[in-house]
Structure 1
């Protein structure tokens, strides 16, 4: 017993030393950071981007993306931030490594910034839906790497500069809804796939180089009638043939017979079509609750029940080119398909959650695989839904799964994400336990925790409105995936506020999501940053223990919650019994595990105001590895571990793998 007290004293000393140690300084784009601050200080805005000089720009600044070594800013996305006034000179133009610039959907006015000519590395420029005036730049050749140029929805005047034709890598050009005049120059760019010059005051004849595009791309101008018809004869418009004269005329009885015969044949064809349609409808109604449906792929089956993979109501299927019936893609997305392509995709069900069903869809091009989430019980209207999608789609962070596109109709709401082939953290952590399983090692679990923490902080740094910050509301292991660097990346952002609340029956259902929910949250739509911190704390405990947030006891009747179980085990000073037996094979990680355990316990205290802020959680989780690990023994200070359990965390001797484990570790399996 004396030895245990001595050990506790030594471990306490380690914690104190670790807590006052300074974090290691990471690489920062200091010059670019100063340029961004000069920009935001000299322009009016409605929504603050939360650029705090004390935080690293590459990880925590809204809309900022850096290169691999965090030495330069390569992307700046500030859509819908309420920016007003002209762009201050000598600010953004100092971001010489900038590749993507998006200032769309603001109220920026003034001329096109002349000093943007310094941004020689630009590949994508999105300035649509602002109030820019004046003429377009005369020399576009300075941006010879540009692939996407969107200046639509402004008040640009004057002619289209011929220098646009020197953008040899341009794939998309949109100058619609301006006040451009004059003739259209010869834009002969082989790589150009999309062009939109509609609703200007352009005159003259369409150049031959642009005749391959549909005439709708040039409507709303004063162009000559030569381009009023499609540029090439299509198979749908037959070429008129000369009428041959016949020496004999048909008699009236012959004409009447032909007409009657044609009517009979037409009636028979219509009747046959109606019979086939009725038969098909009855079969579909029988298979899907009476709703006629169109499957993505009739051959694609779900893994669990053998059902067709994804069905949409017929009135939502097809018509993918309709303005109100199409996929809405976000800028920077390299995916190129429409709703019809998605409906024809080979798909399988990945899972069914509280917010809807998730599918893996492999498109017919054999190179594109995406994840489609079909939402259920959406309780908001179209405007609010699309507004939330714009907020979520505008997030660009390596630890937040990017929303690539969405689809909205009265009966169907879809969201499209990238596909992560390793599956969710829940699958990696709990799947196939037993012989033949590849354990999730400690290094990967650390990266999952660090990445998820950074992603949540990025979400909390995003404004849902001028007076409200964005929260996740449904943080759990099944919503976290591994990115290309094996760090956690969080998905399903901001869906909680869109769903129709369903009152929980009594007793509450035994669902995994229940174990992640903070005790003060009764309506998921009213989640807060503090409740997100609680859910993240549960995730940390899940990574440490290898156990699900809720589970049945050995008797099978009582539901055991992970947070309560960990509290009870630690209270009995059997801390080593908390940790996943799969982690015992890795040497020299005990100190890091115990420190991670204390962070998790800090996050799951019952009182929301006693939980740490997410910015502090990120620093603590990252600090575990920087400090080299330190066993943490804390008496509690009203905000820490001690305030919830009233005990210290101590390390008992780890039980060797394969031996019987003491304590209450059998409470959850």
Structure 2
């Protein structure tokens, strides 16, 4: 049984490693297919992980590429969709405002994609009626401001998850199909559409249909008569159109996966005789259907006498509110690789007791003695605040440390805002967002009391380090690490050192945390991915500049996340919070709010 577990562990680790390397190669092939990419995507280079934070437009979650936001980059040429299809975690694809031409690429091969944004290009020609048949996960489709023609593809009406459809400013003809989905956003304006508007779409305002002279019916002020009837388009036979992107493509995927597994097994058997290092913390990505328990191994740290078997130090509990567990419990846990961050790698471990924990493997604290580290971890373990994540246990080793905390199944604020929101999408309304901001502020207030002597009571405050409970209560993580990390590493890994305070003056202070808080506030209110999270400033949106410009031009309402457009009665409160975020992100720390003042003003915002 032990041999089987080792085999299974090695196999999945190899597959995971191959997948990570494959993503890099696939993205480099995509870059090679594009015109102007050498300049626009100059940060895409070999031997650097796409999830390192330096690759322009690449969005990752748990060290897996989930989105490509390649907007406003002047790109053109053919798009290597085959390379894109090899990025298994890809969910969002944006080529907004580039110079692509010709028919729509074969994006129908990207079966798991959730957002397809092609606005403001020069794509042209008709889109086959069955084009979207295999894209059952699509939620957002933005094809506006191109030169598409022909009828609106009927397959759009069969996408059960579709929420946003923007086809405005094209040359689509024919009738408006009946969309049975609960669409939240629709724009078909400025095309050549004809006939009556289906009753299911009458809930949208007239602006969604203007610029189509032959359309009639509500919400337009043009009633339909008998001559306005127009037959709805039927489905074309997919077997006759030559696409074959349903079952045929699935078979190809299966074949590729089988080949990969065989290759991994061969690799395993050719390397199985190599001696295994005693000191590796091992965990594997585990599929939801797997029933085998994967052994998690923690490095040994105790010396052993000659001839004696090696001993493994146990973990040290610093908080037993979730129960007491030991090394053996962790070793038998079903483990899953969550990803690699700046401070180390993370794993999810589900123990037989039912408790799920996150194990962070910290490699950048290697100059701290055991006594100092123990004292710090016990201080962390005494923290009790509903908006601060308290560690449960730790494991010490000179070369690296393991910090163990409770697993939050909803994930991080970053993931909820920019990743696959799923069912949480509709729940991320204004009251929920304000609740999150207030919880973050309250957690920071506690940290500023608990670690009042620190230059950076948090130091690494960003949306990926704000975890969310089942009821969207935020919990701050990765706080107060600066004194524990080597200074050179802190500069490279902690978000505080990407602030103007350090970039311009090589200084950080408690007001640097205020700046980081402001970035999160602007991120939550605008829904934009902050360019500030990238070390090179490329990719995402400069939310500070965007909001500052909007405020100076008295048009700040335009930058509020469109997802909040239904909360018109709370617009004043949203703008109030937006201004707080702007005041927190002043480039001059002297003009920036103090943390206490920022918290007070946040508490004054009402739903």
TM-score (norm 2): 0.48
Q: Give the greater-gyration-radius structure (CA).
A: 1
